[in-house]
C-alpha cells in the first residue's frame, strides 16, 4: 500500500528539480500524476519515467502565470482521472535579481506573475474540484527567502513571502471544506535553477552548500519531495496553514557570513538581470 493510493495529483514545474522528484515519488506511492511545465520534452520524459511505476502519469504544457493554462491543467486531471486530490504549486524561476534601483519593472512583474500569481491561480482552480470530492491538499513551494531577507533577491523574497501568507489566508478560508493548504520553504537545494545545467557548476554548488548550514551537505530535490509527500498524504490531515522549513538548519544559523568570500562561488547565476526557467540555460 502506497501513501497516495487512489489519489490524483497535479504538480507544476515537474520537468526537473523538486517537481521531478515529487512526481516520481508520488507515482511510486500510488498517485496518478499530471505533470505541468513549460519544458515540453523534459516534462514528457519525466511523465514516461513516472508511468513506469505502474501509475498513469501524463504531461500538460503549462504557463502557470496564465489563468487559461491553469484551467486547462485542472481540466486535464479531470478528463484523465475524474478527480483532483492534490495540487502542488511548485513551478518557479529565479526572477529579477540585483539592486532595487536596477530592477526593471517588467522583470519585477514577470517574477511576481510566475512565483506568486501562479500559486494563487493553482489554489483558485483546485479548490472547486477538491470540494466536490470532500477535501484535498494544496501545497506550494515558498522558500526560506520568504521568511528572511537575501541581498539582491528582492523580487524573489517578496514573492515567496506572499506565498507564505497566501497559504495562511487560504488555509483559513478552506478548512471548512477539508482542504488543507500548506507550503514548503526550501533552503539551499541543488537544482537546475541554480546550476543552469552548466558543466561543473552542479558540483561547485554541492560543495559550497555543504558548508552553508549546520547539516553538512547540500539539499537535494528528494528532500523537498519527502515533505511534499507528507503534506499530500493523510498523515498530515491535521496540518494546515503551515510553512514547513526544509533547509538543513540554515534558518537557525548560517555557517558563514553573507559577506564571506566563501559565500560567493563562481556559478552560472549572474549578479544582476533576470533568471527565467532553468531549461532555457
Cα distances from 118 to residues 10, 14, 88, 222, in angstroms, run: 13, 14, 11, 23
243, β-bridge pairs: 183
156 in active site: yes
Residue entry with cell 486531471: 77
Catalytic residue among 156, 174, 208, 279: 156
CA–CA separation, 269 and 193 (whole Å): 9
Give phi and psi for 25, each to the nearest 5. -65, -45
CA–CA separation, 41 and 10 (whole Å): 18
Residue entry with cell 500548506: 182
Give phi and psi for 36, each to the nearest 5. -125, 140
**Residues with Cβ within 8 Å of residue 210, at least 6 apart in sequence:** 216, 217, 218
Q: Which of 235, 189, 180, 178 is nearest to 29 (CA)?
A: 235
Q: Could you give the residue numbers annotated as active site?
A: 156
Amino acid at each position: 500500500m502506497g501513501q497516495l493510493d487512489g489519489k490524483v495529483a497535479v504538480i507544476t514545474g515537474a520537468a526537473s528539480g523538486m517537481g521531478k522528484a515529487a512526481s516520481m515519488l508520488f507515482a511510486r506511492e500510488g498517485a496518478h500524476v499530471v505533470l505541468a511545465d513549460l519544458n515540453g520534452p523534459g516534462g514528457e520524459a519525466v511523465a514516461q519515467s513516472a508511468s513506469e511505476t505502474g501509475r498513469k502519469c501524463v504531461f500538460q504544457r503549462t504557463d502557470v502565470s496564465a489563468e487559461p493554462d491553469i484551467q486547462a491543467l485542472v481540466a486535464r486531471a479531470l478528463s484523465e482521472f475524474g478527480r483532483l486530490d492534490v495540487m502542488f504549486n511548485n513551478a518557479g524561476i529565479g526572477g529579477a535579481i540585483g539592486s532595487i534601483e536596477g530592477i526593471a519593472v517588467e522583470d519585477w512583474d514577470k517574477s511576481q506573475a510566475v512565483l506568486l500569481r501562479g500559486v494563487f491561480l493553482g489554489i483558485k482552480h483546485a479548490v472547486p474540484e477538491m470540494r466536490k470530492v470532500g477535501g484535498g491538499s494544496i501545497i506550494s513551494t515558498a522558500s526560506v527567502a520568504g521568511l528572511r531577507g537575501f541581498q539582491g533577491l528582492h523580487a524573489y523574497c517578496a514573492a515567496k513571502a506572499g506565498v507564505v501568507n497566501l497559504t495562511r489566508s487560504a488555509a483559513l478560508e478552506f478548512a471548512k471544506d477539508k482542504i488543507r493548504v500548506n507550503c514548503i520553504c526550501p533552503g539551499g537545494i541543488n537544482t537546475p535553477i541554480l546550476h543552469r545545467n552548466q558543466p561543473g557548476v552542479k558540483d561547485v554548488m554541492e560543495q559550497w552548500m555543504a558548508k552553508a548550514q549546520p547539516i553538512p551537505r547540500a539539499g537535494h530535490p528528494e528532500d523537498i519531495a519527502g515533505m511534499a509527500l507528507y503534506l499530500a498524504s493523510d498523515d498530515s490531515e491535521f496540518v494546515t496553514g503551515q510553512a514547513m522549513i526544509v533547509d538543513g538548519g540554515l534558518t537557525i544559523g548560517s555557517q558563514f557570513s553573507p559577506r564571506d568570500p566563501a559565500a560567493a562561488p563562481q556559478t552560472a547565476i549572474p549578479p544582476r538581470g533576470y533568471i527565467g526557467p532553468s531549461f532555457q540555460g
